[in-house]
């Protein structure tokens, strides 16, 4: 992803918040695999639900409190006339996902932060990786009783005529694994019988898989599933009871038809790369 743009989709940061704004008519679905999710509007992402478009995805810190950042994005989109058409006017479809970080205690993101992140996306502010936006308070390795670096990671791959991008906020209970399968921090993966740290706080990996291929809502659901395979490839343990791991897959359709299974394979690799991009060995959590 060069800067904040993938085709005509944009993303922007504000303190504690990252917002993704896809082009009008973008189809979306998603899946939760962690045991402790903090999400908003996820039920409508089910392929059996009526609405298939997504107008924005909001990633935040602050657990359930931080989900209020989506209210600011919702109001901003309504003012711009964006949303699902109803007799009472457009209703923006804004999906939210949140990690549990220290801002739960110190002050979670609010609607003003959501509006600021959306404006940052529209203005083309350069999109950074690492401990920024929704990943500002993220950490990893808490299953060991550690606080290793987490943050926002970004990766892009080609899939035939289409492109797949992933923006992932990594705040995992487990370790981030390098391409060789060894933890980036913390030494070898412990044997299963070794004690691990309780994991109520500072967990969850959330994010978005974007493609410019033309997909159905069911196809997007399958793409989100393959994204979770990428999380499991780059995080160990992944999808624990203490994580709220959730991914949304978005398809803008600008590149036309594409092979869904090729896109799924590429999505797995892209998400794994984005997870690894999120950790910065030279930046330690406070």
**Span 52-100, pLDDT tens digits:** 999 999 999 999 999 999 999 999 999 999 999 999 999 999 999 999 9
Distances (CA, A) of 204 to 25, 124, 182: 29, 28, 20
Q: Which domain holds residue 261?
A: 5-184+199-278
* Beta carbons of 1 and 208 less than 8 angstroms apart: no
Domain assignment of residue 189, yes or no: no
Domain assignment of residue 99, yes or no: yes
Domain assignment of residue 159, yes or no: yes
Assign 186 a pLDDT band (cuts: 50, 70, 90): confident
pLDDT at 3: 35
Q: What is the pLDDT of residues 142-183, one digit of tens each?
A: 888 888 999 999 999 999 999 999 999 999 999 999 998 899
Domain assignment of residue 284, yes or no: no
- The model's pTM is 0.93
Assign 5 a pLDDT band (cuts: 50, 70, 90): very low
Domain assignment of residue 173, yes or no: yes
Domain assignment of residue 158, yes or no: yes
Domain assignment of residue 191, yes or no: no
Q: In terms of DSSP H, where are the helices of the chain?
A: 63-66, 69-79, 103-106, 111-122, 217-234, 260-278
pLDDT at 84: 94
Counting the structural domains of the chain, the total is 1
Residue 141 has pLDDT above 50, yes or no: yes
Domain assignment of residue 108, yes or no: yes
The CATH number of residue 62's host domain is 3.60.70.12
Question: Hey, is 7 helix, strand or coil?
Answer: coil
- Give residues with Cβ within 8 angstroms of 129, minimum separation 6: 151, 152, 153, 154, 277, 278, 280
Residue 35 has pLDDT above 80, yes or no: yes
- Give residues with Cβ within 8 angstroms of 173, minimum separation 6: 142, 143, 199, 203, 237, 240, 242, 243
């Amino acid at each position: 992803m060069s800067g904040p743009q993938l085709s005509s989709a944009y993303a922007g940061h504000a303190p504690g918040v990252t917002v993704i704004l896809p082009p009008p008519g973008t189809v979306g679905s998603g899946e939760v695999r962690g045991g402790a999710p903090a999400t908003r509007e996820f039920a409508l992402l089910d392929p059996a639900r009526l609405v298939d478009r997504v107008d924005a995805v909001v990633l935040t810190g602050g657990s359930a409190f931080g989900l209020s950042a989506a209210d600011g994005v919702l109001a901003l989109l309504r003012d711009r006339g964006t949303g699902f058409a109803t007799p009472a006017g457009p209703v923006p479809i804004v999906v939210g996902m949140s990690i549990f970080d220290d801002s739960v205690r110190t002050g979670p993101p609010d609607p003003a932060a959501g509006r600021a992140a959306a404006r940052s996306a529209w203005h083309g502010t350069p999109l950074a990786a690492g401990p920024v936006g929704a990943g500002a308070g993220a950490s990893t390795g808490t299953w060991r009783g550690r606080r290793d670096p987490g943050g926002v990671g970004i990766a892009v791959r080609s899939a035939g005529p289409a492109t797949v991008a992933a923006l992932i906020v990594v705040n995992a209970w487990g370790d981030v694994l390098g391409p060789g399968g060894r933890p980036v921090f913390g030494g070898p993966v412990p044997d299963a019988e070794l004690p691990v740290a309780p994991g109520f706080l500072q967990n969850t990996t959330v994010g978005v898989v974007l493609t410019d291929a033309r997909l159905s809502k069911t196809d997007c659901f399958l793409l989100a599933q393959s994204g979770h395979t990428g999380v499991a490839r780059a995080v160990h343990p992944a999808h624990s009871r203490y994580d709220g791991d959730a991914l949304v897959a978005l398809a803008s359709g600008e590149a036309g038809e594409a092979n869904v299974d090729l896109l799924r394979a590429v999505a797995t690799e892209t998400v794994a790369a984005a997870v690894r991009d999120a950790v910065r060995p030279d930046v330690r959590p406070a």
